[in-house]
């Protein structure tokens, strides 16, 4: 039978509508109910969604739920959305997560969405009290709230991560994943609660996001390319960090990172690149752009630290072998909580190259903040403080 043009178009529209409409899977179907443990109900819902040949959506309605460790894996046959409007609580006792690196893991899926107005509450207070990693290099690492591993073309939208025992989010080996409207909340004294840590991933966007943590708001490990942090509020916390790098074997380069339209309030650092000294690890950091940023009472607003050695867990006898190049700091304004608003301490072994300071307007107690530099000669464009040599330990 030969179809008319009009009939053919109508058929295609109906077919497209059918294939993109999601089938809802409520966890109630598997016994999931408020004030109960929904671990098995969620895993059963995931199994059904993953096997579906058309798009599906798992629903967790409003209410408070308990949930243990979850590892939701693909590959799956069609797109999946997990829509959470309730509050899901992790066990308060870290031991009840059985040493899991992450409490909730999603992995090996394409076209995955985590959405809703829900809260994932890591109940981390007990874990923070037990954390002794600042003095014990063999400390037990507590579970992170989320692990997003080997995802493609995925989005996390509007979800809140609260009081994680460790990092709120770890992104590993993902391609084209976006965090939009995501929130991370934890007290300033909650140890190691990075808002989002990204490693070995490409095309990651963090936009329209609020991050209040006890560590870095956003941190980058090695092997990342084409990343954007834009329209983000950070504070409290340790700021936005590239690194630390140069600690592990076979670290891959970090290339193309844009931080734009960001406000940092009462953080330990603003925008930072950091690497370890006295290791044999060599990698590169290049094409870093930090622009249109507001600092409010930030201890170290602009900082490159190639002598990063927290808690004296390393030696500074040999310089870092991490090569940093093509870094621009542009249109950065606000208040510094220290006189040294710009600190650029680069490696004696591989000095920084291609560093630019453009339109830097930072004040300390009403006076212009100064720049302290070592092993780098930044290009000054427009208004920015000229470099002075460090006279003593400034970081």
Q: How far apart are CA 18 and CA 55, in angstroms?
A: 10
C-alpha 97/C-alpha 386 separation (Å) is 51
Rg (CA), the chain: 23
**What are phi and psi for residue 29, nearest 5 degrees?**
-60, -30
Q: What residues form DSSP beta bridges with 154?
A: 177
Two structure tokens written together for 93: 């006792």
The answer to whether 268 and 307 have CB atoms below 8 angstroms apart is no
- From residue 279, alpha-carbon distances to 200, 213, 251, 301, 309 in Å are 21, 29, 12, 27, 11
The pair of structure tokens assigned to 303 is 């900082």
Has 153 been annotated as catalytic? Answer: no
Tell me the three-class secondary structure of 130-165, residue by residue.
Answer: HCCCCCCCCCCCCCEEEEEECCEEEEEECCEEECCC
* Nearest of 48, 73, 47, 58 to residue 22 by alpha carbon: 58
Quote the tokens at residue 74.
């693909």
Tokens representing residue 136 in the block: 């014990």
Encoding tokens for residue 355?
Answer: 């560093």
Q: 337: which 2 tokens?
A: 């909580």
Spatial separation of the C-alpha atoms in residues 368 and 370, rounded to whole Å: 6
Torsion (CA) 212, 96, 93, 193 in degrees, nearest 10: -20
Containing 49, the helix (H) or strand (E) segment is helix 39-51
Pick the catalytic residue: 111, 168, 197, 238?
A: 238
CA-wise closest residue to 286 among 247, 327, 321, 343: 327
- Which SS3 state, helix, strand or coil, does residue 125 take? helix
User: Could you give the CA distance from residue 326 to residue 287 in angstroms, rounded to a whole number?
Assistant: 5
Q: Which residues are catalytic?
A: 238
């Amino acid at each position: 039978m030969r179809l008319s043009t009009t009939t053919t178009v109508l058929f295609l529209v109906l077919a497209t509508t059918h294939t993109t409409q999601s089938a809802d899977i409520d966890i109630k179907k598997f016994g999931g109910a408020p004030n109960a443990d929904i671990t098995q109900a969620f895993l059963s819902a995931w199994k059904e969604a993953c096997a579906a040949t058309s798009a599906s959506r798992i629903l967790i309605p409003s209410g408070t739920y308990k949930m243990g460790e979850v590892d939701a894996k693909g590959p799956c046959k069609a797109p999946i959305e997990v829509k959470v409007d309730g509050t899901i609580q992790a066990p308060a006792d870290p031991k009840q997560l059985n040493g899991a690196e992450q409490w909730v893991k999603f992995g090996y899926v394409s076209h995955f969405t985590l959405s809703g107005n829900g809260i994932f509450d890591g109940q981390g207070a007990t874990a923070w009290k037990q954390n002794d990693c600042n003095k014990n290099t063999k400390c037990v690492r507590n579970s992170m709230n989320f692990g997003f591993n080997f995802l493609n073309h995925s989005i996390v939208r509007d979800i809140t991560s609260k009081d994680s025992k460790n990092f709120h989010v770890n992104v590993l080996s993902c391609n084209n994943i976006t965090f939009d409207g995501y929130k991370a909340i934890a007290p300033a004294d909650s140890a190691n609660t990075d808002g989002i840590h990204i490693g070995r991933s490409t095309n990651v966007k963090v936009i329209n996001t609020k991050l209040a943590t006890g560590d870095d708001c956003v941190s980058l490990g090695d092997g990342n390319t084409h990343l954007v942090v834009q329209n983000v509020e950070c504070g409290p916390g340790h700021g936005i960090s590239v690194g630390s790098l140069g600690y592990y074997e076979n670290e891959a380069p970090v290339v193309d990172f844009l931080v734009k339209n960001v406000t940092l309030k009462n953080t330990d650092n603003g925008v930072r690149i950091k690497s370890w000294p006295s290791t044999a690890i060599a990698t590169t950091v290049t094409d870093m752009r930090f622009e249109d940023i507001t600092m409010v009472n930030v201890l170290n607003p602009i900082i490159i630290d190639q002598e990063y050695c927290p808690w004296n867990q390393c030696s500074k006898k040999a310089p870092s072998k991490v090569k940093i190049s093509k870094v621009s700091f542009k249109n950065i304004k606000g208040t510094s909580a220290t006189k040294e608003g710009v600190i650029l301490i680069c490696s004696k072994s591989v000095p920084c190259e291609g560093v630019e300071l453009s339109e830097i307007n930072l004040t300390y107690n009403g006076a212009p903040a100064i720049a302290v530099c070592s092993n780098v000669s930044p290009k000054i464009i427009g208004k920015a403080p000229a470099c002075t040599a460090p006279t003593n330990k400034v970081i």
